Amino acid sequence: MSILLGRSPDRRPPEAAPAHTGSRTTRILGALTLAGLVGLGLCAFIFSPPDSRPGPEAGTRIGQFDAVRLMYVHLPAAIWTYVALGTCAMASAVYLWRRSAWWDRLAHACAEIGVVLCAVTLITGMIWGRPVWGTWWEWGDVRVVTTLVLFLVYAGYLAMRSVPAAPEARARRASILGLGGAVLIPIVNRSVEWWENRTLHQQSTLEELRIEDLTLFTLVLGILVMGLLSLWLAVHRFRVAWLEAEAESAGLEAALAERRAEAGAGAEGSSP
């Protein structure tokens, strides 16, 4: 219908609306992700060795031991958090420029996945920090604190998106908020870095660890698999948003018909 096409020009005609969000591409992507997860699990828990090397005193061993295995989730999750939320900010900026619902939905999908990954990053980081740093939380670390603020900012973004509003108004507010996060994070990072000018974080995780081929391989595999998983989730989330809008506009057509019927009845009733 012309009215509906006017509402969002990027939308395909209703008959193209699928019943679910799966497609051949996502199924292949999903299968690859699943296989990758299995492979990652095997590499991370069984094949790769714990981190341990001779200590300064004879007979002792130091290192992260089994805690190092958390790295295979923590580091990939952290990398993809920044990618997802960066994409959200970028999509928000493009939305403000092009005003197309496509970019709004992309921003929404990326923000949701980014927040989940960010939570995973923080939680695995804390679990890892307890045995290795001896504390759940380390205020003196720039990346830890910045990531927490990042999490709070985009959790606020999702909170705002959850409030019912007209789609266009919500998209506009969300895009400013998404972009605002990207404006804020460098400032937070800088200020935290100055605040505690010491950092516990492993500037060079890869150097300090006794990197064996398999450890490095597992880490790279983890990054790849986490990327596939994020992409798979993002595609589905985007399609869900698209279907939601589709359902909403189908609802609108019904509502329009109802409204016009009301007009017909009202006009007859009020004619002199």
Partner 1 sequence: MESAVWLRDAVCCRGRFPALAGVDLDVAEGEILLLRGPNGAGKTTLLRLLAGLATLDGGQGTVLGCDLRSDRRALRPQVGLLGHDLMLYEDLTVAENLRFFAALAGASEAESRAALERLEVAPRLADVSLRRLSAGQRKRVAAACLAVRRPRLWLLDEPHAGLDESGRGAVNRLVRDAAGRGATVVLASHETPAASAVATRTIQLVGGIVTRRASGSPAAVAPTEQVSDA
Partner 2 sequence: MREVLLVAAKDLRIESRSRVLLFQVAPFAVATLVLLGFALDADRSALRHFSPGLFWVAVLLTALLAAQRSVAVEHAGRAADALLLSATSPARIFAGKALALAAQLAALELLMGVAMVVLYDARVEHFGLAVASAAAATVGIAAAGTLYGVLAAPMGVRETLLPVLLLPVFAPVLIGATRAFGDALGTAAVNGWAWFGLLGLFALVYAVFGALAYGPLLEAEA
216 near partner 2 (CB under 8 A): no
Question: How far is 201 from 247, CA to CA, in rounded Å?
Answer: 47
Which entry of partner 2, partner 1, none binds 231, CB below 5 to 8 A by partner kind?
none
Q: Specify the DSSP class assigned to residue 13.
A: P
Read off the amino acid at residue 218: T
CB of 254 to partner 1, least distance (A): 10
Residue from the set 19, 58, 163, 267 that interacts with partner 2 by CB under 8 A: 163
Q: For residues 159 and 257, which CB has a smaller minimum distance to partner 1 in the complex?
A: 257
Read off the amino acid at residue 148: L
97-102: list long-range contacts, CB under 8 Å, 24+ apart.
100/8, 100/9, 100/10, 101/8, 101/10, 101/11, 101/167, 101/171, 101/245, 102/10
Query: Alpha helix (H) ranges present in the chain?
Result: 2-7, 24-42, 71-98, 101-132, 142-161, 167-195, 205-208, 213-270
172 near partner 2 (CB under 8 A): yes
Binding mask 137-156 for partner 2 (x = CB under 8 A): ------------x--xx-xx
For residue 20, the SS3 value is coil
Which entry of partner 2, partner 1, none binds 204, CB below 5 to 8 A by partner kind?
none
Contact set with partner 1 (CB under 8 A): 2-4, 6-7, 164, 166, 168, 248, 251-252, 255-256, 259-267, 270-271
79 near partner 2 (CB under 8 A): no
Question: Which residues form the interface with partner 2 (CB under 8 A)?
Answer: 96, 149, 152-153, 155-156, 159-160, 163, 165, 168-170, 172-173, 175-177, 179-180, 183-184, 187-188, 190-192, 194-195
